[in-house]
Structure 1
Amino acid sequence: MGGSESKDGERSGATMAARAIAGLVICAVGAGVASLTGNSSGSSGRKTMKAPGRDTRIFRDEFAKNPSGYFRDLRKK
């Protein structure tokens, strides 16, 4: 009997380790997605967004102040 209990214990330990690793991966992916959504920009806490018509990020509050000015300046360039 001792042999089968040992195998079950090893399987249980392997299962727990696999679940722990999966949990860490899920947390890491979640953190990566959160950083890409623009919820905050570093330590400043200001929200960012993808700049329309560009491959960069801008502060959302600055865009919201004058969106027509942003697009006017974008067309000038």
Structure 2
Amino acid sequence: MSGKDKDTSIITLVVGAVAGVAAVAYGIASLFSGSSGKTMKAPGRDSRMFRANFEKNPSGYFRDLRNK
């Protein structure tokens, strides 16, 4: 492999790594952002849920919780 091929290979590797890190950061950011905003502990479960979804229909949430 010539010196120029090694340089191109290293640049390609670095660009790929930067793109991968950017994609992961975007994915993580999209998990925590959105129109629903704040989260809360889901009542009766060991997980989190969007507060706006619960406040929209709390009786429906508990009805569905009992049916599962």
1:36 is displaced (CA, Å) by: 1.3
Instruction: Give RMSD over aligned pairs.
Output: 2.5
Tell me the percent identity.
Answer: 21
Runs of at least 5 residues in structure 2 that lack an aligned partner in the other structure = 42-46, 61-68
- Count residues with an aligned counterpart: 52
The aligned residue for residue 41 of structure 1 is 39
1:35 is displaced (CA, Å) by: 0.9
Q: Distance in 1 between matches of 2:2 and 2:12?
A: 15
Runs of at least 5 residues in structure 1 that lack an aligned partner in the other structure = 49-57, 68-77
The aligned residue for residue 6 of structure 1 is 3
The ranges of structure 1 where at least 4 consecutive aligned residues each deviate by more than 4 angstroms after the TM superposition are: none
The aligned residue for residue 72 of structure 1 is none
1:26 matched to 2:23: yes
Greater relative contact order, per chain length (Cα 8 Å cut-off, separation 6+): 2
